[in-house]
Amino acid sequence: MKETEEMYLLRFRYGRAAEMFIAYKTFLHRQVITGDKSYCPNEEVVIQVTHTLLLTFYSFIYSMFDKSGTDFISTTEPYVNVLTDAGKEVRKELIEVWTKNEKAISKLRHNIGFHGGVKIKSHEVGYSALSDIHPQVVEFIMNHLAIFFMEMDVILPPREDYNFHVSPEQKKFFFDRAEKFKKQINDPAFSRMMESMKKLYSDKNLMDDNSHR
């Protein structure tokens, strides 16, 4: 089966999301240089950039499923009958997880992500959506997208500009990590911790703090 133009663009979009994810993780784990001669002079700037990268990354995730563009669900539909069993299961789980989190990620994206709300209340809605998204959900989505494209490579002819090969050991790593994320997402203890975070993310002071940086 040939790779459609939409699938080519979806894979391209995934690559950009993965790069944004790397940028976010780089700042989150403080793998950046700070100091008077650096673009990030102090820890406060690093924290704020990390926050902004997270919002942008969520927006990229939204764009992967946004029906107004090259979205995952409709783009992958023509391949369902030829996908491997693993590919079908991964696609099903991706759609299920996205459906459960679409509303919250949409609020974030439209109010404080790629777009900004026109009123203070809109920004409050965007920030409060953070407390409705389990932190491991987007990790799970990115991990599952990686697995899905691995399974796509099984049924698509090789491309001259794409020579990425995955070993069985690497594929197992992604599947094992998916199981870990599932357990964390369904962990009642973590859910209780998420509830305690709601006040932080819905607090107007969060916006006030950001405005001073």
Integer Cα distance of 64 and 61 in angstroms: 5
Longest CA span, the chain: 57
Per-residue pLDDT, averaged over 52-67, amounts to 93
The band of 203, judged by pLDDT with boundaries at 50, 70 and 90, is very low
Cα torsion angle, 103, 104, 108, 109, sign:
negative
Please tell me the least confidently modeled range out of 31-40, 74-83, 183-192: 183-192
Q: Which residue has the higher pLDDT, 26 or 163?
A: 26
Backbone angles phi, psi at 106, to 5 degrees: -65, -45
Write the Ramachandran bin of 2: left for phi over 0, alpha for psi from -120 to 50, otherwise beta: beta
CA dihedral 32, 178, 127, 14 (to 10 degrees): 70
Integer Cα distance of 85 and 147 in angstroms: 12
- pLDDT score for 48: 93
**Residue 126: both structure tokens together:** 């965007």
Q: Which residue has the higher pLDDT, 211 or 8?
A: 8
